[in-house]
Chains A and B, each alone.
Chain A
Amino acid sequence: MADGTIFERKGVQTAAVLTDTFKRPGDAMARVQGFSDYHYAVITHPISSLNHEQIRDRARAALPEVLNILGLPHQ
């Protein structure tokens, strides 16, 4: 979350992705960085134990929200 907000401050459009269990520290970090209403994508926890196909499923699930954050059209 810190990286995402720092990129945004430098003018780089960024979509941050958090697993649901990290929403609270994520919101706190956004607040500290001056982005209280920072919009980010949330996926289901966990991810570190997933195989490639399961990770791909998580990415697919997050994609519409990531595109929305970046202001890009959905296919």
Chain B
Amino acid sequence: MTLTRELTALEAAKGARELIDYCYDKGWTDGLPVVPPIQEFVDEFLAQTERDPDEVLMVQEHLDRSCTVRHAAINAVMAGCRPEYFPVLLSALDAFESGTARTNLMQSTTGQAVMTIVNGPIRAELGFNSTGNIFGPGDRPNATIGRALRLVIMNVLGIRPHEFDQSTHGTSAKYACCIAENEEDSPWEPFHVEHGFAPDVSTVTTQMMRSDVFVEHRKTQVAEEILATVADSMSYAGMITQVTEQRINHSCIVVMGPEHAQLIARQGWSKQDVKRYLWEHMGKTKAELRRYGKLHADFEHEPEDAFIRSSPGPEAIYLIVAGANNGGVSTVCPSITIGRGRDVTRAIKFK
């Protein structure tokens, strides 16, 4: 690099920092730096879709806010997305709007994150991570599409901390939570095929999750021992809501590591068998609920050793296989939104 070009690059970097600071001053960030959304960048994203830039994607009537395709593009730029990621984000926003966005849980004290799950060929085409460190940092599509969704919630819908976002704690997954299923290492049909899509269709699914809970079991070859451990992790006392009708409407996104999934499948368990087992064992006995002070009056007539299920049925449990095939580890994500809304899984619309 010549001295002149080096100086030009330094000046450009200083200018970029000024623009980044400008975005901070405007209150447009999630606390991390954003890419300044100049018109030229936004136009590159809008060119990835045939949808009208003024088409409304989401509405929050009580906040007098709506999100258009253009708003989504601006926030995708800021999140650090590449332009070709934009169709994924648009379909994720479609799924979120018809699914769980109108539950008002974005403002809840429970502080839920939006989880995005990607299936199909788009995973390889865009380079999504579906293997190691699936909930961690390091992969641009996962990190930036998940982040773009959060920036839309904060900047466009106006749901920001200390005001309309009333989370008591929130979760670090609120920065970004976008995973791709590890279809290659899964012994079962992929999530989107289970839900009626062809294997060669790329889909995106959105749900809300309250946290991600680590589940370990490396010392067994007995499927039931792993499944009992997963079910217990889905049922911890702090997860159980007692004060509303939600007490029997909990749901869960189970992100099973390939090692667990393959061991269980080798012993003859289908995906539906696993979901049924987890549903049957997600909950606590009446005596346990009493001990935790979470026994609702509705269950007073039950015997003390009755098992009170927390979830309405196997359909309230999502089973995704993701992560590296290198350890007996899974993750469970408690949720209260599976079953709410419609069309939470969408085929990604490409131009």
Q: Does A51 contact B (CB under 8 A)?
A: no
Across the interface, do B166 and A25 meet the contact criterion of CB distance under 8 Å? yes
Across the interface, do A24 and B243 meet the contact criterion of CB distance under 8 Å? no
Across the interface, do B243 and A25 meet the contact criterion of CB distance under 8 Å? no
Q: Which residues of B contact A48 (CB under 8 A)?
A: 243
* A interface SS class: helix
Across the interface, do B62 and A24 meet the contact criterion of CB distance under 8 Å? no
Q: How far is the CB of A67 from chain B (nearest CB, A)?
A: 27
Q: Determine the interface band of chain B, counting residues with CB < 8 A from chain A.
A: 10 to 19
Q: Which residues of A contact B163 (CB under 8 A)?
A: 24-25, 28
Across the interface, do B62 and A2 meet the contact criterion of CB distance under 8 Å? yes
Contact with A along B159-192 (1 / 0, CB 8 A): 0001110100000000000000000000000000
Q: Which residues of B contact A25 (CB under 8 A)?
A: 107, 163-164, 166
Q: Which residues of B contact A28 (CB under 8 A)?
A: 163-164
Q: Which residues in chain B, 130-184, are within 8 Å of chain A measured between CB atoms?
A: 158, 162-164, 166
Give A6's nearest chain B residue, CB to CB: B62
Q: Does B52 contact A (CB under 8 A)?
A: no
Q: Which residues in chain A, 14-59, are within 8 Å of chain B measured between CB atoms?
A: 22, 24-25, 28-29, 32-33, 48
Closest 10 CB pairs of A and B: A2-B62, A28-B163, A32-B64, A25-B166, A25-B163, A32-B63, A25-B164, A28-B164, A48-B243, A24-B163
8 A-B pairs within 8 Å (CB atoms) are namely A24-B162, A24-B163, A25-B166, A28-B163, A28-B164, A29-B63, A32-B62, A32-B63
